[in-house]
Chains A and B, each alone.
Chain A
Amino acid sequence: MKQIVVLGGGTGGTLVANLLAKKLKSKEAHITLVSASNRHLYQPGWLYVPFGRQDPRTLSRPMASLLRKRVKLVIGKASQLDTESQQISLEDGQSLHYDYLVIATGSQVAPEDVPGFSEGAQHFYTEEASFKLHAALEEFRGGKIVVGVGGLPYKCPVAPLEFTFLLDEYLTHRRIRDKTEIIYTFPLNRVFSIESVAEVAQPLLEQRGVTIETFFNLEEVVPEEKLARSLEGTELNYDLLIMVPPHRGAKFLQGHPIADEQGWVKTDRSTLEVKGCSNVWALGDTTDLPISKAGSTAHFEAPVIVERLAARLRGANNDQIPEEYEGHVMCFLETGYGKASMLNFDYSHAPEVAEPSHLVHYEKMVFNKAYWYLVPTGVL
């Protein structure tokens, strides 16, 4: 019987494993999911933790509770991948053989890539960091807060904008907004990469008195001087620096022949096949595709991989399989004060951004709670 191994227990890996278990008969394949943690984390919820609006304990569930019964769960961290012998080694010494492999090991933060980041900057991209930032904000009494993107690529591209809007609301409620200057930085020459989003977001930032600093790619943090310096030569002083850290792929993939030096796996943008390996696919943050690193990307990619893998397992050739990924991404954009907008786009269609509304904000709140029942399980 064929062995299918799914590496990674995030949104993409969990969803692929469950959809494969639903699609394939039990006599067709064994399905094993390897997860570095025995908990599945709902990362979008970390955005709210710094403001005391979300208890971090509610943002994880046991992996086993989210998987279909026929998926074998192995807790372990991959340390080596040999695509010739089709073997994966884990850090604990276990070795797994595969006939088909799906890599969904995602991204990890790499604050060490920016000198001074770990000592001088805060962020909300891990459980620990978001809780630590909560403490820093609670102790904050006024001054200058610099928010922005600290390295490329990064996960959840709209998160720095959302954070800035929520920060303005938080400081206003605490009655210290008038004692605080917020500076929003962005790597490009506008407040967001998508022009239609920037056209909605920039007036909102201006209305709320946020100073905008564009073309700011963080090069270095000097904690002793409370100074952030950009690649373009701009220097900003801060009392509190909140920057999205740079991200990298999984450690075992950094410099691997199927990935680049940062560990992003070289992936075909339509078939999601790993380049040079016809029995390996990648999805979500794991890939080197210049598209959004976000749960929704993995969500829309997963069914394509499942259809293609199942067809291949049943003897089809690649050119007989019609399912392709068309770049579909959908994400919410919180704009503060109980309002949000939504972005929906693919390779061929630029997003149109609706006026932020209370309705979309409530949809996001409902989605955050319903995620566990709808997404990793494959219901939605």
Chain B
Amino acid sequence: MMQNITITKESDARGSFCPGPLMELIRQVRLAQVGDVIAVISSDDGSKKDIPAWIAKAKQEFLGMEEIGGATRFICRKIK
């Protein structure tokens, strides 16, 4: 599924404890156009809970996550 997605903008937030990967994702989603696909890479295990929770709360579309060498890439589409 992930291979067919074209990412518009990706941020590497590995090792970012403050402000952290979710804050970076929110920033990128706010800057993006509706339809853009935003990815953020996080090495923080807490992101697996926090990021999908915010995407659901903000009524955006969570496209999935994938493991990449000790970190996780989270992918979100801006739909509104």
Residues of B within 8 A of A232 (CB): 57-58
Task: Identify which of A27-35, A60-68, A168-176, A344-352 touches chain B.
Answer: A344-352
Cβ contact within 8 Å between B17 and A189? no
In angstroms, Cα B53 to Cα A346, docked, is: 26
Q: Does B19 contact A (CB under 8 A)?
A: yes
Contact A193 B57 (CB under 8 A): no
Minimal Cβ-Cβ distance residue in A for B14: A347
Cα-based distance from A343 to B17 in the complex (angstroms):
11
Asked if B58 and A351 sit within 8 Å, CB to CB, the answer is: no
Task: Contact check, A217 vs B30: say whether CB atoms are below 8 A apart.
Answer: yes
A346 to B22, CA, bound (A): 18
CB distance from A266 to the nearest CB of B (A): 11
Chain B nearest Cβ from A202, distance in angstroms: 15
In the complex, how many residue pairs between chain A and chain B have their CB atoms under 8 Å apart?
Answer: 75
Cα(A290)–Cα(B42), bound, Å? 11
Evaluate contact between A290 and B24: CB separation under 8 angstroms.
Answer: yes
Q: Is the CB of A153 within 8 A of B15?
A: no
Chain A residues, CB < 8 A from B1: none
Q: Among B15, B17, B31, B54, which residue has its beta carbon within 8 angstroms of that of A351?
A: B17
Contact indicator A152/B17 (Cβ below 8 Å): no
B positions within 8 Å CB-CB of A: 11-24, 26-27, 30-31, 46, 50, 53-54, 57-59
Q: List 5 A-B contacts (CB under 8 A).
A: A152-B23, A189-B53, A215-B57, A217-B58, A290-B16
Known: A187-B23, A346-B15. 4 other contacts (CB 8 A): A189-B50, A217-B30, A231-B58, A290-B12
